[in-house]
A and B are shown apart, each in its own frame.
Chain A
Amino acid sequence: MTKVIAAIDNSLAARPVVLMATALAEVLGATVEPLHVSDDDGETARACADSLGLELRRCSGDPLECIRAAAEADDVVAVAIGARQQPSGHHVGHLARQVADVIDKPVLVVPPETVPPAHLHHVVIAMEGTPAKTRHLKAAVDVASSADLHLTVVHVDDESSIPSFSDQVAHETDAYAHEFLARYLHGAPRARLELRIGAPADEVIDVTDVAAPDLLAIGWPQSAGGDHGATAREILDRSHVPVLLVAIDSAETS
Chain B
Amino acid sequence: MTAIPVQRDAGLSFLEQDFAGEPGWVLDITGFDPNKLRVNASLFALANGRFGSNGASLATREGIRRWVVAGNVYVLDGPETHLLTGPVAMQLPYEMVDDPHFRRVVDLRTGVLYEEVDTTEGLLTSLRFRSLARPEVMIARAQCPTPARNAPLLLPPADDEVLDQGARGSASWMRVAANPGGIVAAATDVVDETGRRLDRISVYLADADRLPDPETALDDLEDATAAGVDRLLTEHCDAWATRWRDADIVIEGDDDLQVATRYALFHLMASVPDDGEAAVGARGLTGTSYRGHVFWDADTFTLPFLAATHPASARAMLEYRIRRLPQARENARARGRLGARFPWESARTGEDVTPTSARDRAGKLVPIRTGQLEEHIVAQVAWAASFYADWTGDEEFINGPGRELLVETARYWASRVRMESDGGHIFGVIGPDEYHEPVDDNAFTNVMARWNLRAAADAVELIDTPESAEAREWRAVADALVDGYDPDTGIYEQFAGFHKLEPLVIEEIAPKRPIAADLWLGPDRVHGAQVLKQADVLMLHHLVPDAVEPDSLVPNLRFYEPRTAHGSSLSPGVHAELFARTRDYDKALDALRIASRIDLDDLTDTTAGGLHVATMGSLWQALAFGFGGLRAHAGRLSIDPRLPHSWGALELTVRFHGSRVRVSIEHGSLHVDAERPTAITIDTLPYTVDSTGLEFTRRSRAWEVIA
Identify the A interface with B (CB < 8 A).
131-132, 157, 159-160, 162-176, 178-179, 182-184, 186-187, 194-198
Contact = CB atoms under 8 A, between A and B. Distances in A.
A163 B604 contact: yes
A235 to B, nearest CB: 17
Given A159-B511, A162-B515, A174-B289, 9 more contacts: A164-B515, A166-B516, A172-B604, A173-B360, A178-B609, A179-B39, A186-B63, A195-B360, A197-B361
B362 A197 contact: yes
Contacts of A176: 361, 605-606
B530 interface: no
Contacts of A187: 62-63
A165 B566 CA distance: 7
Q: Among the interface residues B290, B518, B605, which one has the most CB atoms of the partner chain A within 10 A? A: B605
B596 to A, nearest CB: 14
A196 B362 contact: yes
Nearest to A186: B63
A190 B351 CA distance: 34
A171 B512 CA distance: 24
Interface residues of B, number: 45
Contacts of B291: 171
B489 interface: no
8 contacts: A163-B361, A165-B516, A165-B598, A170-B79, A174-B358, A175-B608, A184-B35, A195-B363
A172 B65 CA distance: 19
A169 to B, nearest CB: 5
B520 interface: yes
B355 A170 contact: yes
Contacts of B605: 131, 163, 176, 179
B368 A170 contact: yes
Given A179-B608, A195-B363, A168 B520 contact: no
Interface string B178-200: 00000000000000000000000
Contact of B354 (A167, A170, A174, A175): A170
A165 B519 CA distance: 9
B519 A197 contact: yes
A196 B516 contact: no
A196 B566 CA distance: 21
Q: Among the interface residues B290, B295, B370, which one has the most CB atoms of the partner chain A within 10 A? A: B290
Contacts of B360: 166, 169, 173, 195
B4 interface: no
Given A166-B567, A169-B368, A159 B608 contact: no
Which 10 A-B residue pairs are closest in the complex by CB-CB distance?
Answer: A166-B516, A170-B358, A175-B609, A170-B355, A175-B606, A197-B362, A175-B289, A179-B608, A164-B514, A171-B290
B131 to A, nearest CB: 29
Contacts of A163: 361, 515-516, 519, 604-605
Given A171-B290, A182-B63, A197-B520, A166 B38 contact: no
Contacts of B35: 131-132, 183-184
Interface in B533-568: 566-568
Contact of B520 (A162, A179, A196): A162
Given A164-B603, A175-B606, A182 B65 contact: yes
Nearest to B523: A169
A176 B606 CA distance: 5
Contacts of B358: 169-171, 173-174
A156 B289 CA distance: 23
A169 B520 contact: no
B606 A179 contact: yes
Contacts of B39: 179
B604 A165 contact: yes
Contacts of A169: 358, 360-361, 366, 368
B57 interface: no
Given A167-B568, A168-B370, A196-B362, A182 B608 contact: yes
B59 interface: no
B282 interface: yes
A183 B65 CA distance: 12
B569 interface: yes
Given A182-B65, A186-B63, A196-B363, A159 B609 contact: no
Q: Among the interface residues B35, B363, B512, which one has the most CB atoms of the partner chain A within 10 A? A: B363
B359 interface: yes
A184 B110 CA distance: 35
